[in-house]
Structure 1
Amino acid sequence: MAVLLGVVLGGWLTIRNQERQWHRDHEREWRDIRLSTYNEFASAYRQYVAFAVEPSALISAVPHPQAPGELMPFFDEAGRPYKEKLESTWIALRIVCQSEQTVGTGLQILTAARQVAAARANHGASDIPAELFQQLWAAQDAFIAAARVELGVAELRRLDGVE
């Protein structure tokens, strides 16, 4: 009877350990997926903005039908891949995010990047209002902080001493 109890207990412990290992592997895999997706999103919006501020970029803008006071940018054929990449990485980000905070800060980046592009439609490449870039960088900082929390990475101290 003692031997049988030992076999059952040993089997149960093995199954429990395997299940814990599977959960750790699963969490690690999702963390890697999130990190990769966040990196792709950051790359896509940076490329989008870089294209928007190019002097040769052809961008037009119309009033947004659902957001009063905002403009919707439209790119020519050269800019369309940047827009499509940003939109597709935004959807991927929404799929893998764990927290509403990360989704919200990602949306702030998306909106700020679009407003930079929309402003470029009415301004020269060097005449885009600085406050639009300040909004974009603030959204970027908020996104990084939210993503770090979601990924379980320690909080990052700001270089300018402001917290």
Structure 2
Amino acid sequence: MIEVGVTAVATLCAVVLGGWLTLRGQDRLWRRDTERQWRDIRLKAYTDFLTAMRELVAYLLTPTAVVTAVPRQSGEGDDMPFFDERGTRHKERLEATKSAIRLVAGTAAVVEATDALVRRARLVAVARAEHGPDAIPPERFTELWAAERAFLRDARAEVGLVRPSDQ
């Protein structure tokens, strides 16, 4: 009788342990799949944002681009660029992809880097309004590309694409 009881308890313990290990394994798989999905969502949002920013800059460098700069009413110091119909589409796409990043970013650093990059793109647009496409001050581009590198660094770190040379 004792042997039957010991066997039953041992079997019950094995079933409970097996069930617990199975649940733990399933939970790990679910977490890994969820992390992968979020990584893919973020990569898409970041790629779309960079593409939109590059398209706006390419538009600004065309001789036919029509950009005007108007001082902000809030008195923040920076002029606000306004575009013709073609440029407005690029600006709206940049703003939409910026909002998408705000929805999916996992860290504040990525959101801050996004804001900084958009600010630098606006400064290039303001410079384009004041100068021709060949006379935009080079420091505007230096600042823009530095902001892009900072965004890339933060975005890559967030999605786990850090290379040894990035550290």
Structure 1-normalised TM-score? Answer: 0.92
Q: Which structure has the larger Rg over C-alpha atoms? A: 2
Measured against aligned partners, the alpha-carbon deviations of 1:86-118 in whole angstroms (never above 9, x if no partner) come to 000000011111111111111111001011111
- Alignment counterpart, residue 59 of structure 2, candidates 51, 55, 63: 51
List per-residue Cα deviations over 1:109-155 (Å, max 9, x = no partner): 10010111111111111111111101100001111111111111224
Corresponding position of 1:118? 126
User: Residue 88 of structure 1 aligns with which residue?
Assistant: 96
Match of 1:37 among 37, 40, 45: 45
CA-CA distance at 1:61 after TM superposition: 1.1
Q: Are residues 1:62 and 2:70 paired? A: yes
Distance 1:91 1:25, change over 3 A: same
* Equivalent position SS for 2:162: coil
- Indicate the larger mover: 90-99 or 61-70: 61-70
Q: How many residues align?
A: 159
Query: Which region of structure 1 is more displaced relative to structure 2, 56-65 or 87-96?
Result: 56-65
Amino acid aligned to 1:143: F
Q: CA deviation at 1:157?
A: 3.4
**TM-score, with normalisation over the residues of structure 2?**
0.90
> 1-side partners of 2:139 and 2:17: how far apart?
65
TM-aligned CA deviation for residue 66 of structure 1 = 3.5
Runs of 4+ in 1 over 3 A off after TM superposition: 155-158
User: C-alpha separation between the residues in 1 aligned to 2:101 and 2:72?
Assistant: 23
2:50 partner amino acid? A
